[in-house]
Amino acid sequence: MRQISMRLTALLSMAAKAAFPHDYRYGTNRPWTIAAQRLNPPGKKRRKVFVEPIANEDWHVVRGDTHYRYIGRSGDYRGTCIASEAPLLLKDVTLVDPTDRKPTDIEWRYTEEGERVRVSVRTGRIIPKPVYQRKDGIIPQQWKDGPKDTSPEDTLQKTYTPSLKTLEEEVMEKMNIQEDRRPRKSYWY
């Protein structure tokens, strides 16, 4: 009986592990859906993406930049622009110039205030860094306090004084309740 239960647990643990090929393309769809199967048809091999080491000062893409790719490109038709998540080489990514909305190379320069900015090589315009947005959609720089928000001055005030009294004793003291009964002795051992 023990051998049968061990075989059954081993079989169940193997079934629980989903085995994907090493070149499986993970996406936002669940693996058993038709959309995921369309991304990974049987027999299709994907090219490996080789990662090249890049120095920190050479990074021109920052968090929040959006990148798109075109699908269905043929002849003089440029295709349909869609947002997609995939591993990319940094040399294959270009930023969009804000003046004419076309891809451009960039170089790093310093403003008169000493701030390091990205500048379009073609037009010389500054490409602004995107505003950092939290997962809940709040942009910290654009936050405005509402009537129910606590002010920074109130958060720094000390409003609680710790004591060794129980909650009941503190409430009775605040409400001026006199208790003439004495609690029984308790031993904590």
Q: What is the pLDDT of residues 105-149, one digit of tens each?
A: 889 999 999 999 999 999 999 988 887 777 787 777 788 888 898
Per-residue pLDDT of 138-164, as tens digits, reads: 777 788 888 898 888 888 998 888 889
Q: State yes or no: pLDDT of 85 exceeds 90.
A: no
Confidence of residue 171 (pLDDT cuts 50, 70, 90): very high
Gyration radius of the chain's alpha carbons: 31
Q: What pLDDT is recorded for position 6?
A: 56
- Higher pLDDT pick, 52 / 61: 61
Q: What pLDDT is recorded for position 59?
A: 79
- State the DSSP string of 62-88: -TT---EEEES-BTTB--EEEE-----
Full-model pTM? 0.42
Pick from 40, 18, 15, 17: which is nearest to 27 by CA?
40
Span 95-99, mean pLDDT? 84
Pick from 49, 48, 29, 55: which is nearest to 40 by CA?
29
